[in-house]
């Protein structure tokens, strides 16, 4: 098994809330240096999956997995303390809603570097020098000023860039970006995504990009996985999946990406129905209720296919 | 920041002025002639009349009020009938007693409330949380006169570790001073700890749920850092407000505890003033206690502004 070459390797991950299954039998891997897109509707379990990878699952949920490797270390084989230190030292996290991820009562300079100081055993001056350098890299011309601000004195886009700089402090092997552009307007969104691309190509950092925006993932990721109701229904190289989508859900998602050619009177397209939040441990296909091609066999069983890294779970051939 | 403080001071002065009006007129319309009360039932009508005039009680109320207010501004609160001493001097003598037990009580209550409150929030539903919640209930429910008497009987009479009553000034004997204020301080602390503990625990629980805690965990910081730097910082405002209010309340005198332990503090003065209808003393005390409360709420606001700089800019309208 080539665990050590992959930045993330997850095998048969299940997450339960008591009797309720939230994520079932999920396996995925993120290769070193790639941008991996995780897409799906709200409630499909994208964030929970990402949180399992970085040891941040809420205490009330139960996790089982055969293997979770994050940045070269199996999280299941080490103690909670070691897990926390390993993740802190090797993973950067860029959250969705940026308002309170930075502590509102602490100046940027007093929170941006504390992970660096703790893990790399460096002094505060050195941490601030590095922070200034990174803030400059993420597009601030006057990083020293930014360091003296409180988070609420910055705009949403500025805060997100501070988060990105903070995620880069420890030279991580992996960055998890959970809907990183959702709260931003489209100009800033583009800037932030270009920044990710740049970080990825210049520093070789793997990025797990969680998004419900398929257009974004198509443009920026090398590989992707499509999640539905706590399962991965299709995964593979982005180009391959987009040019040859196998699962009806993926096909529908691609079909409804809003294009600029849309007419004013034309309603936005959608997939009818909702992602179910119960019965996710059923043996059949979970998309059956909304699938235009549903067959009788789909309620009992969904066949898994894998062809040169292109995986999908559907009875259609 | 300075402007914010100045604005708050202006507000406080208006409050104090309103309080002086209410204090003066409410006490003046209480039936009964103060001159008669001072001289007792044996006095002749002439003697009462003479004193009435001497005290200026024959003048119109507004003149009396402005006379009182102007001497108030010179910190002259008049002379107590009961003690025959100036009210300012009486308060100055009683204040160290009351402040000593108030400060000690709040130190005890604050330290314990933060310790237990933080632990029980971090380890929610554990034994320590159960223990803290029991203290919340008991602290609020047990009357202080009862716990005070239990302490006197147990520590004072049975174990003879602490004196059962009285106050020893610090200048006279530091160890005697500590001994004399220990029991009353603990009794007061028990009365305040329940409320404070509840606030610390719930603020802490709220702070632990915030997104910045996730970020602190992902950074892999030590638990100490995560809880002391991030969680506690976000949970300080409500407890500090409560501490300020509680301290202001205690600094204004605690009638029950001071009486039980026979401490010559502000609370005892209030009791004497009420019992003997010493209106001058009572007016002075009410003004003093209100000023204390106003002063502490001002101080709390400034402290909170220093901790949470966001308030500054809101006040400035940014």
What pLDDT does B49 receive?
83
pLDDT exceeds cutoff 70 at A44? yes
What pLDDT does A276 receive?
74
Which residue among B220, B229, B310 sits closest to A89, beta carbon to beta carbon?
Answer: B220
Which chain A positions have a beta carbon within 8 Å of B220's beta carbon?
Answer: 84-89, 115, 118-119
Residue with tokens 């507004």: B62
What pLDDT does A3 receive?
44
What is the per-residue pLDDT across A169-193, written as a single tens digit (0 to 9) for each? 998 999 999 888 877 777 878 888 8
Taking the CB of residue A192, how many other CB atoms lie within 10 A of it?
22
Question: Nearest-CA residue of chain B relative to A105?
Answer: B308
Q: Tell me which of A71, A105, A166 to substitute to probe the interface with B (most B C-beta atoms closer than 10 Å).
A: A105
Which chain B positions have a beta carbon within 8 Å of A103's beta carbon?
Answer: 212, 215, 230, 233-234
Could you tell me if B228 lies within 8 Å of chain A, comparing CB atoms? Answer: no
Which residue among B219, B233, B307 sits closest to A114, beta carbon to beta carbon?
Answer: B219
Taking the CB of residue B62, how many other CB atoms lie within 10 A of it?
9
Give the integer Cα–Cα distance in Å for A116 and A119: 5
- Structure tokens belonging to residue A104: 């509102």
What is the per-residue pLDDT across B113-135, written as a single tens digit (0 to 9) for each? 999 999 999 998 899 999 999 99
What pLDDT does A263 receive?
67
B127 by Cβ neighbours in 10 Å (0-12 / 13-18 / 19+) ranks as exposed
Could you tell me if A95 lies within 8 Å of chain B, comparing CB atoms? Answer: yes
Q: In the structure, how many helices (H) and strands (E) does chain A have?
A: 11, 13
Mean pLDDT of A183-211: 86
Could you tell me if B224 lies within 8 Å of chain A, comparing CB atoms? Answer: no
- The nearest CA of chain B is from the CA of A150 a distance in Å of 8
Q: Which residues neighbour A32 within 8 Å (Cβ) at sequence distance 6 or greater?
A: A5, A6, A7, A173, A204, A206
- The nearest CA of chain A is from the CA of B196 a distance in Å of 22
E strand or H helix at B127: helix B127-141
Give the integer Cα–Cα distance in Å for B235 and B120: 14
Residue A100 to residue B217, Cβ atoms within 8 A: no
Which chain B positions have a beta carbon within 8 Å of A106's beta carbon?
Answer: 229-230, 233
Which chain B positions have a beta carbon within 8 Å of A150's beta carbon?
Answer: 309-310
Could you tell me if B316 lies within 8 Å of chain A, comparing CB atoms? Answer: no
Residue B234 to residue A105, Cβ atoms within 8 A: yes
pLDDT exceeds cutoff 60 at B313? no
What pLDDT does A97 receive?
64
Give the integer Cα–Cα distance in Å for B236 and B110: 12
What pLDDT does A227 receive?
92
Beta bridge partners of A175: A92, A207
Which residue among B210, B220, B308 sits closest to A115, beta carbon to beta carbon?
Answer: B220
Residue B234 to residue A150, Cβ atoms within 8 A: no
What pLDDT does A262 receive?
62
A-B C-beta contacts closer than 8 Å: 67
Give the integer Cα–Cα distance in Å for A68 and A64: 10
What pLDDT does A87 receive?
92
The ipTM assigned to this model is: 0.82
Mean pLDDT of A55-81: 89
Confidence of residue B5 (pLDDT cuts 50, 70, 90): confident
User: Does the structural domain A3-313 have CATH classification 3.10.129.10?
Assistant: no
Task: Flag the least confident range among A114-118, A133-137, A313-317, B153-157.
Answer: A313-317
Among residues A154, A36, A179, which one has the least CA distance to residue A96?
A: A179
pTM value is: 0.82
The percentage of chain B sitting over the pLDDT mark of 90, rounded to a whole number, equals: 44
Per DSSP, the three-state class of B43 is coil
What is the per-residue pLDDT across A248-271, written as a single tens digit (0 to 9) for each? 999 888 887 776 666 667 666 677
Give the integer Cα–Cα distance in Å for A173 and A127: 19
Which residue among A56, A105, A118 sits closest to B218, beta carbon to beta carbon?
Answer: A56
Which domains are delineated in chain B?
23-76 (no CATH), 90-315 (1.10.3720.10)
């Amino acid at each position: 098994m080539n665990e050590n070459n992959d930045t993330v390797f997850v095998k048969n991950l299940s997450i339960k809330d008591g009797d309720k299954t939230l994520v079932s039998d999920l396996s995925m891997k993120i290769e070193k240096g790639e941008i991996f897109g995780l897409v799906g509707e709200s409630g499909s379990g994208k964030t929970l999956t990402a949180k399992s990878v970085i040891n941040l699952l809420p205490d009330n949920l139960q996790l089982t997995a055969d293997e979770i490797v994050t940045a070269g270390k199996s999280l299941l084989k080490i103690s909670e303390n070691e897990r926390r230190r390993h993740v802190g030292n090797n993973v950067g996290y860029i959250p969705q809603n940026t308002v309170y991820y930075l502590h509102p009562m602490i100046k940027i300079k007093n929170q941006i570097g504390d992970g660096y100081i703790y893990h790399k055993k460096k002094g505060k001056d050195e941490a601030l020098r590095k922070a200034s350098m990174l803030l400059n890299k993420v597009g601030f011309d006057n990083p020293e000023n930014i360091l003296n601000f409180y988070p609420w004195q910055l705009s949403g886009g500025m805060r997100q860039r501070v988060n990105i700089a903070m995620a880069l402090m420890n030279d991580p092997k992996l960055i998890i970006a959970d809907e990183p552009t959702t709260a931003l307007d489209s100009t800033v969104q583009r800037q932030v995504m270009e920044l990710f691309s740049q970080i990825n190509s210049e520093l070789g950092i793997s990025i797990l990009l969680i998004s419900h925006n398929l257009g974004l993932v198509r443009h920026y990721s090398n590989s992707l996985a499509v999640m539905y109701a706590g399962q991965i229904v299709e995964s593979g190289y982005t180009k391959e999946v987009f040019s040859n989508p196998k699962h009806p859900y993926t096909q529908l998602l691609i079909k409804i990406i809003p294009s600029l050619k849309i007419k004013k009177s034309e309603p936005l397209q959608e997939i009818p129905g909702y992602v179910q939040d119960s019965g996710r441990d059923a043996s059949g296909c979970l998309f059956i209720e909304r699938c235009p091609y549903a067959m009788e066999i789909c309620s009992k069983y969904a066949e898994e296919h894998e062809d040169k890294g292109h995986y999908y779970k559907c009875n259609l051939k | 920041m300075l402007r914010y403080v100045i604005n708050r001071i202006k507000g406080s002065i208006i409050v104090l002025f309103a309080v002086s009006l209410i204090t003066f007129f409410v006490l003046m319309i209480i039936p009964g002639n103060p001159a008669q009360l001072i001289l007792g039932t044996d006095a002749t009508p002439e003697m009462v009349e003479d004193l009435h005039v001497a005290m200026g009680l024959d003048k119109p109320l507004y003149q009396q009020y402005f006379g009182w207010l102007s001497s108030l501004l010179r910190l002259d609160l008049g002379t107590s009938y009961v003690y025959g001493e100036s009210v300012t001097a009486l308060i100055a003598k009683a204040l160290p007693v009351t402040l000593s037990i108030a400060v000690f009580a709040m130190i005890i209550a604050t330290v314990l409330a933060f310790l237990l409150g933080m632990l029980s929030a971090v380890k929610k539903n554990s034994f320590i949380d159960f223990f803290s919640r029991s203290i919340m209930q008991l602290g609020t429910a047990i009357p202080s006169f009862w716990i005070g008497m239990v302490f006197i009987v147990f520590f004072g009479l049975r174990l003879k570790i602490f004196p059962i009553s009285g106050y020893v000034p610090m200048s006279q004997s530091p160890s005697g001073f500590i001994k004399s204020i220990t029991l009353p301080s603990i009794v007061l602390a028990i009365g305040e700890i329940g409320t404070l503990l509840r606030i610390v625990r719930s603020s802490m629980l709220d702070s632990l749920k915030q997104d910045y805690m996730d970020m602190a965990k992902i950074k892999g910081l030590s638990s100490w850092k995560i809880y002391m730097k991030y969680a506690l910082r976000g949970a300080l405002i409500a407890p500090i407000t409560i501490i300020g209010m509680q301290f202001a309340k205690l600094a204004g005198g605690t009638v029950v505890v001071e009486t039980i332990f026979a401490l010559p503090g502000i609370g005892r003065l209030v009791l004497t003033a009420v019992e003997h209808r010493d209106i001058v003393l009572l007016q002075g005390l009410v003004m003093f206690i209100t000023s204390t409360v106003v002063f502490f709420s001002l101080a709390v606001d400034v402290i909170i502004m220093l901790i949470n700089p966001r308030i500054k800019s809101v006040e400035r309208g940014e």
